[in-house]
């Protein structure tokens, strides 16, 4: 279901946790709460009914990378987001192997989280930072630092007041 640019309505994002384990789930829950608390223009939910974007979050490891249409999977990356329009055309940005020929309106995204992340006392913080970054890509941010880049999302979706 498309999002009306400049409508001021919240962007409804379904985040479906398909990681199959309790290790990524706490950071994923914190990540959606963090984005949701940063702006009233984001509304997160767990199922795809009525969502503008459905994000499937999955795990992988370098020995078994997923095969995704339009993408070359980068080895040793902490995570990866693959973004598609309503027609199933890859909309991701370089280094995508496909031309940027999608409609530009994201309908579905797949966030892959690599189990390569080494354990340590700060593992939850590192998982959260990775999830925030990949969720940003899933919502349409092409380049962003570890911050939430709400002003960039506001520009992309036409939210008033810079999304605040």
Give the tens place of pLDDT for each residue, 71-84: 777 778 888 888 88
35 lies in some domain: yes
Dist CA 133 CA 69 (whole Å): 22
Is 60 a member of any domain? yes
User: Exposed, middle or buried, 87 (CB in 10 Å: 0-12/13-18/19+)?
Assistant: exposed
- Which tokens is 46 given? 């767990």
- pLDDT tens for 91-149 read 765 555 444 567 778 899 999 998 888 788 999 999 999 999 999 989 988 776 667 88
**Does residue 160 sit within a domain?**
no
The helix or strand, by DSSP H or E, that contains position 126, with its residue range, turns out to be helix 123-138
Among the listed residues 134, 116, 159, 124, the one whose alpha carbon sits nearest the alpha carbon of residue 24 = 124
Domain annotation covers residue 88: yes
Residue 95 forms part of a structural domain: yes
Residue 134 structural domain = 11-153
Kindly state whether residue 56 falls inside one of the protein's structural domains.
yes
Q: What is the pTM of this model?
A: 0.90
Where residue 25 sits, what CATH number does that domain have?
3.40.390
Total tally of structural domains belonging to the chain: 1
In a domain, 161, yes or no: no
Q: Is residue 3 part of a domain?
A: no
CA-to-CA dists, residue 71 to 82, 84, 91, 93, angstroms: 7, 11, 10, 10
């Amino acid at each position: 279901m498309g999002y009306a640019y400049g409508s001021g309505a919240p962007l409804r994002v379904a985040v479906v946790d398909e990681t199959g384990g309790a290790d990524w789930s706490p950071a994923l829950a914190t990540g959606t709460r963090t984005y949701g608390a940063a702006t009233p223009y984001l509304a997160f939910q767990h199922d795809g009914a009525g969502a503008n974007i459905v994000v499937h979050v999955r795990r992988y490891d370098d020995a078994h990378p997923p095969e995704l249409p339009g993408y070359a999977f980068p080895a040793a990356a902490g995570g990866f987001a693959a973004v598609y329009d309503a027609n199933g055309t890859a909309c991701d940005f370089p280094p995508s192997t496909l031309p940027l020929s999608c409609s530009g309106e994201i309908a579905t995204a797949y966030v892959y989280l690599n189990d390569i992340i080494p354990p340590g006392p700060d593992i939850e913080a590192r998982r959260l930072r990775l999830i925030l970054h990949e969720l940003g890509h899933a919502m349409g941010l092409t380049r962003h630092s570890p911050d939430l880049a709400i002003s960039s999302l506001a520009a992309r979706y036409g939210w008033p007041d810079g999304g605040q």
